[in-house]
Amino acid sequence: MKYKNPKYRKRRNTFPLEISCGNCKTPMVIYAKGGKGNLIKLQVPRIIASEVDLEKHEGSLLCSNCKEELARKGTYDDNVTYWIIRGKVNSKRVNNYSC
Ligand SMILES: [Zn+2]
């Protein structure tokens, strides 16, 4: 990942998830996921690392390789949040991710 998020704060009961483009499989984001539910959004303080700086990024998150639209920028609890477009990303758990 090109960008390590300085605003990331480690939280308990989360695990790193690699979010990749569902179309071409390019990894885009490492995200600290909590709970068992489906991944529906990417909150910036939970992003460990990503291919682009998602806080400053404007507009939708596009795959860096094939330009597929993966998530739309919005807010949640006053944090910049990317709402995942259903069916556009793959995610898999990664063990011991280190930046
Ligand atoms: Zn892609």
40 in a domain, yes or no?
Answer: yes
39 in a domain, yes or no?
Answer: yes
99 in a domain, yes or no?
Answer: no
Residue type, 19: I
Say if residue 99's pLDDT is above 60: no
Rounded to two decimals, the pTM is 0.92
Distance 59 CA to ligand 1 centre (A): 17
Distance 86 CA to ligand 1 centre (A): 15
Which tokens hold the place of 24?
A: 């071409």
Distance 42 CA to ligand 1 centre (A): 17
Average pLDDT over residues 70-89: 95
Distance of alpha carbon 61 from alpha carbon 84, whole angstroms: 9
Say if residue 5's pLDDT is above 60: yes
Q: What are the Cα distances from residue 40, in Å, to 37, 51, 71, 98?
A: 9, 19, 9, 24
98 in a domain, yes or no?
Answer: no
Q: What is the mean pLDDT of the chain?
A: 93
Number of domains within the chain: 1
H/E stretch holding 40: none
Say if residue 84's pLDDT is above 60: yes
CATH code, domain carrying 65: 2.170.150
Confidence of residue 15 (pLDDT cuts 50, 70, 90): very high
Distance 77 CA to ligand 1 centre (A): 29
Q: What are the Cα distances from residue 48, in Å, to 66, 91, 92?
A: 23, 14, 15
49 in a domain, yes or no?
Answer: yes
Domain range for 45: 3-93
